[in-house]
Amino acid sequence: MKNLFYVSLFALMCSSVAGQGLKTEIIGNKQLINLSREVPSFNHLRIVALDVDLQRGKMHSVSLTAESNIIEHIISKVEGDTLVIQFDRKQALRNIENPKITLTFSNLNSILGSASNIRLLSPLENDSLLIKLQTKSSIEGTVKLNFLDLRMATSCNAKLSGSTNIAHAQLFTKSTLNAKKLLVNDLTLIEETHCRAELNVSEQLTAKLFAESTLENIGNAKPNIIYPSIDQMTSLKFFNQNVDLYNFN
């Protein structure tokens, strides 16, 4: 179950910082309440170990539904030009219900998700957008862009529709891209280690495929595919590193 994965994952994060000032462990009381928070303006978004729905609006706000003794430990703060949504890393939590979070934004230039599921409830329109996902994260929705930069690592999934003129995509370690409904003119793609991309590219498609990765294009572009040797894989340098949900490479 997805929710059990996140609860276990957050418990692991808490244990990793044991001895660094953790407060008494809090167990979810199953009493759900609603809370709305206004936040300052931002252009970038970082989400860790939470599921968040995104919708465009004039005001910047975060709407939460969570247990009454847990909700205050869900952080939504702006650091510089980035809104960070995550649990309080200094508070140990256990047996909690998966919070429901809806973010209203006016503009987004980048979305970073770690162990998170992200849904776009309304089309995200911008000149350019960076989407970076890691550790079993996903994103689903419609975009209308000139340039898309998509990066996914470790069992991530993206299901995108809409359009973009130019796109760069990097998929690592069992990540999948479903973009049959995303109209792309020019795509540069890298896939490493059992990844898959389903595409709709009309003009130019250049791809590097490593380690049993595949692609399918239903558009008019004829794929120019290169199969480099395994020693050229970018992800090799990360194999011996511990997973850090809060550090985006």
What is the rounded average pLDDT for all residues in the chain?
90
Q: Which residues contact 5 (CB under 8 A, 6 or more apart)?
A: 136
* Per-residue confidence (pLDDT) for residue 233, from 0 to 100: 72
Say what percent of the chain tops pLDDT 90: 80
For the chain, where do the domains classified as CATH 2.160.20.120 start and end?
A: 1-108
CATH (residue range 1-108): 2.160.20.120
Residue 16's pLDDT band (boundaries 50, 70, 90)? Answer: very low
* Per-residue confidence (pLDDT) for residue 195, from 0 to 100: 97
Angle (CA) 66-103-169 rounded to 5° is 120
With a cut of 60, say whether residue 20 has pLDDT above it: no
pLDDT tens, position by position, 231-246: 777 654 444 445 567 7
Q: Which residues contact 54 (CB under 8 A, 6 or more apart)?
A: 45, 102, 103, 105, 108, 111, 118, 119, 120, 121, 122, 124, 141
* Per-residue confidence (pLDDT) for residue 248, from 0 to 100: 62
CB 113 within 8 A of CB 44: no
pLDDT tens, position by position, 70-85: 999 999 999 999 999 9
